[in-house]
Every structure is written in structure tokens, then in C-alpha cells.
């Protein structure tokens, strides 16, 4: 609801605020709590995203994804977005805590992108040239999520949320982004890497880093053989 566009395919994210005294017990029994909410099919904790307080749940048979994040009141002092209070024993106390909270989306700055972009693109290129096409295709997807998608959101003045809802926002750069989606074919993967490079350079110009990496993109394109291919064309 916070980001808008809620539909039949949306996940539900709930933040469950627990008293500090009861927190260890609640955390230990959170799967049982989730099971009491409805027909729970599966659940696991969120260590893979660095959030062990998170319980990721799938309900069914009418499938619904629900995230339950168990926190205490002091945890509300730093948030990435302001939640809507649906129920509380004392709503005023919770709202006051949210009013005091430092709320900011973890957007990346230009130097963060520049420090990583060429390393990740080279990794994808090396895997492609070795013949590890699935690995290279995975790197292209990772690069879209970590770099190109956030930079497209930045251009549109939105929080940098990976590639979430890129199509729904109707951004003009959707077609260049689609050019980075490769088939299981070495030439297709190489073309996807070149397209990712070109789109990164275009988006980088919106907010240039303080210091650009020397020799890029020329060194990467030579590594891919792209410059030689271009020179060979009539």
C-alpha cells in the first residue's frame, strides 16, 4: 500500500511490534503464530536477506505471500518507510514512535554504482567467454537489479527499488533495459553485456560519480571483442 499499485498479485508485509520482555518467546514461536493466522503452506526465516527477524510465509490453497517482521519498539527508530498502523493496544504510542523515527530509503550514491559496475560487468563477460552462459545470464539479472533498475528509479525520482514495477511506471528506458536480457547463446550474452554497458553510461550521466574508473568502457569492450567486431563491419 505504501508504494501504491496494490493488486491481486501483491505480497503483504506486516511489522509485528512485540514487548521487549516477550520478544525472545515470540521469536521462538513465530512459525506457530504464523500457522494460527491461516492455512500456512511453508515458511522460512530471512537470514538470506540479512533479516533474521523476518518470517517469509506462503498461505494457500489460494496462494498468498505474507512477510511477518517481528520487532520491538526501539527498532522503530530507524525505518526505510513509514508503515500504516492497522492495530495497536495503544496506537498513540506507536504513532509517536513513528513520528520520531528516522525514515529514509537506502538509496545508493553515484560512487557506489561506479565502484561496482565495471567489476560486475567484467565478471559477466569473463563467464560468458569461458562458456558459463547461465552464470553470465545470472550476472546480467543481478546487474539489472543492483545497478540499472535503481538508476532508472533515480531518474524517475523514485526510491531505488531494484527492477520493481519498472514496467508499470512506463519508463522510457524499458526497451534498452530489455536489451540486456540474453538468451542461452554466447553472442546474445555478449550483446546483453554491451547493452548493459551502454545503458549504465547513459544513466551515469544523470549524476556522475566523483571519480570515474579509468579505461572504462573501452577495456571492457576490448575484452568482449566488441570493438574489433565494430571495426570489422562495413
| CATH number of the domain encompassing residue 215 | 1.20.120.330
Domain shared by 131 and 69, yes or no? no
Structural domain containing residue 52: 12-103
The total number of structural domains that make up the chain: 2
Task: Note the residue count of the chain.
Answer: 234
Burial of 1 per CB tally in 10 Å (0-12, 13-18, 19+): exposed
pLDDT, tens only, 135-155: 999 999 999 999 999 999 999
DSSP class per residue in 68-126: EEEE-GGGGGEESSPPP----TTHHHHHHHHHHSEE---PPPHHHHHHHHHHHHHHHHH
Among candidate residues 85, 103, 121, the one where a domain is terminated: 103
How many whole angstroms separate alpha carbon 145 and alpha carbon 153? Answer: 11
64-71 vs 78-79, strand pairing mode: unpaired
Q: pLDDT under 70 in the chain at which residues?
A: 1-5, 171-173, 226-234
Domain shared by 97 and 123, yes or no? no
Cell, residue 228: 574489433
pLDDT, tens only, 112-133: 999 999 999 999 999 999 999 9
Among candidate residues 103, 130, 157, the one where a domain is terminated: 103
Amino acid at each position: 500500500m505504501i508504494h501504491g499499485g496494490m493488486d491481486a498479485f501483491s505480497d503483504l508485509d506486516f511489522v509485528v511490534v512485540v514487548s521487549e520482555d516477550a520478544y525472545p518467546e515470540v521469536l521462538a514461536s513465530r512459525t506457530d503464530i504464523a500457522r494460527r493466522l491461516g492455512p500456512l503452506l511453508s515458511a522460512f526465516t530471512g537470514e538470506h536477506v540479512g533479516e533474521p527477524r523476518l518470517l517469509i510465509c506462503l498461505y494457500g490453497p489460494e496462494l498468498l505471500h505474507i512477510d511477518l517482521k517481528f520487532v520491538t519498539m526501539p527498532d522503530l527508530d530507524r525505518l526505510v518507510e513509514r508503515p500504516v498502523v492497522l492495530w495497536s493496544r495503544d496506537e498513540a504510542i506507536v504513532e509517536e514512535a513513528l513520528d520520531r523515527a528516522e525514515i529514509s530509503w537506502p538509496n545508493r550514491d553515484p560512487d557506489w554504482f561506479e565502484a561496482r559496475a565495471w567489476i560486475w560487468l567484467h565478471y559477466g563477460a569473463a563467464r560468458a567467454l569461458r562458456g558459463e552462459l547461465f552464470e553470465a545470464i545470472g550476472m546480467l539479472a543481478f546487474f539489472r537489479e543492483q545497478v540499472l533498475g535503481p538508476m532508472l528509479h533515480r531518474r524517475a525520482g523514485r526510491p531505488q527499488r531494484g527492477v520493481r514495477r519498472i514496467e508499470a511506471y512506463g519508463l522510457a528506458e524499458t526497451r534498452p533495459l530489455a536489451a540486456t536480457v540474453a538468451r542461452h547463446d554466447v553472442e546474445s550474452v555478449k550483446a546483453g553485456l554491451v547493452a548493459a554497458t551502454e545503458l549504465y553510461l547513459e544513466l551515469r550521466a544523470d549524476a556522475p560519480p566523483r571519480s570515474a574508473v579509468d579505461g572504462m568502457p573501452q577495456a571492457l569492450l576490448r575484452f568482449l571483442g566488441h570493438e574489433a567486431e565494430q571495426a570489422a563491419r562495413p
